[in-house]
């Protein structure tokens, strides 16, 4: 299975997620779970097929990480839905998934089969999957932050609670991704932390979310500042994920440049 057949899985999965999102507005729980999970299963079947035909986990190129992002958006969406019952969350996660599906359809990257020896490690899959999952959750938190900044009415504590929890769970996975990376780097490169540009930006991202968590724990009533911290942190995250590929300070230096 390759990128040529991607569209035949992406469209049915997307339709399922749309139906799930639609029934969330109608308040029909059974259909919400049924369609969303079916879409997730269809999408995962494609990832699995890619995995088998590439003979390695599809986690190396930017296109492949976007594939996981589109997969984890509805996963994160359905988890949030089952916990807090937000009607809109599945519409949002479906839209986000669609964006990444479209990027992969219209601007696919070079998809090569080779995987260099440094990436052949049992740490590879957990390191990247955990990171992408945290990106999905922190993406949702960033949307909540925008919502807080744009909305005229007073922000309820329920909404602030959701934002906090998205950041907590997202940061947990971010911490896992970073520390798994450190443990792996020790096995592959001989040192767990070398201030490589990608590592520097991973530290920046992590500290930015730590700033948010501490700011909120300090019982700050200022929701606007909190929302701005989330947005700034999310920009740092983008920098870490793909921004450094365009950054003069990281060009040709980062040992993380694989694509």
List residues near other proteins by CB under 8 A.
Answer: 110, 112-118, 120-121, 154, 156-158, 161, 164-165, 168-169, 171-172, 175-176, 179, 182-183, 186-193, 195, 197, 200-201, 203-204, 207-208, 210-211, 214-215, 217-218, 236, 239, 244, 247-250, 253
* CA neighbor of 42 nearest in space, from 22, 17, 19, 69: 17
Instruction: Give min distance, CB of 136 to other proteins, in A.
Output: 15
Q: How far is the C-alpha of 256 from the C-alpha of 67, rounded, in Å? A: 19
Nearest-10 crossing angle of helices 124-150, 89-106: 120
Q: Which is nearer to other proteins, 41 or 105 (CB)?
A: 105
Q: Which is nearer to other proteins, 140 or 244 (CB)?
A: 244
Q: Which is nearer to other proteins, 3 or 22 (CB)?
A: 3
Instruction: Give min distance, CB of 116 to other proteins, in A.
Output: 7
Instruction: Give min distance, CB of 113 to other proteins, in A.
Output: 7
Q: Which is nearer to other proteins, 26 or 191 (CB)?
A: 191
Q: Give the C-alpha distances (Å, rounded to integers) separating 99 from 16, 18, 176, 255.
A: 16, 14, 26, 29
53 CB-near residues (< 8 Å, 6+ apart): 1, 2
Q: Which is nearer to other proteins, 36 or 200 (CB)?
A: 200
Please state, as a whole number, how many other Cβ atoms lie within 10 Å of the Cβ of residue 104.
21
Please state, as a whole number, how many other Cβ atoms lie within 10 Å of the Cβ of residue 218.
7
Instruction: Give min distance, CB of 95 to other proteins, in A.
Output: 26
Instruction: Give min distance, CB of 119 to other proteins, in A.
Output: 9
Instruction: Give min distance, CB of 34 to other proteins, in A.
Output: 27
Q: Give the C-alpha distances (Å, rounded to integers) separating 238 from 141, 150, 198.
A: 14, 22, 11
Q: Which is nearer to other proteins, 132 or 239 (CB)?
A: 239
Instruction: Please calculate the CA angle 141-23-43 and round it to the nearest 5 degrees.
Output: 65
Q: How far is the C-alpha of 123 from the C-alpha of 239, rounded, in Å? A: 23
């Amino acid at each position: 299975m390759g990128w040529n057949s991607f569209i035949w899985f992406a469209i049915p999965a997307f339709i399922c997620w749309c139906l799930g999102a639609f029934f969330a507005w109608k308040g029909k729980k059974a259909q919400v779970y049924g369609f969303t999970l079916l879409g997730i299963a269809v999408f995962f079947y494609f990832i699995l097929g890619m995995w088998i035909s590439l003979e390695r986990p599809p986690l190396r190129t930017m296109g492949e990480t976007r594939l996981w992002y589109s997969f984890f958006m509805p996963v994160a969406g359905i988890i949030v839905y089952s916990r807090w019952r937000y009607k809109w969350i599945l519409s949002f996660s479906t839209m986000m998934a669609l964006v990444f599906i479209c990027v992969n359809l219209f601007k696919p990257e070079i998809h090569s089969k080779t995987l260099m020896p440094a990436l052949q490690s049992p740490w590879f899959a957990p390191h990247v999957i955990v990171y992408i999952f945290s990106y999905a959750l922190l993406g949702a938190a960033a949307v909540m932050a925008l919502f807080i900044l744009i909305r005229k009415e007073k922000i309820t504590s329920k909404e602030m609670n959701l934002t906090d929890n998205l950041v907590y769970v997202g940061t947990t996975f971010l911490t896992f991704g970073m520390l798994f990376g450190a443990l792996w780097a020790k096995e592959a490169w001989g040192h767990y932390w070398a201030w490589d540009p990608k590592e520097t930006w991973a530290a920046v991202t992590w500290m930015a979310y730590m700033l948010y968590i501490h700011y909120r724990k300090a019982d700050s009533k200022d929701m606007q500042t909190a929302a701005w911290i989330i947005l700034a942190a999310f920009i740092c995250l983008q920098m870490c994920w793909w921004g450094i590929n365009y950054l003069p300070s990281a060009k040709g230096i980062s040992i993380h440049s694989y694509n």
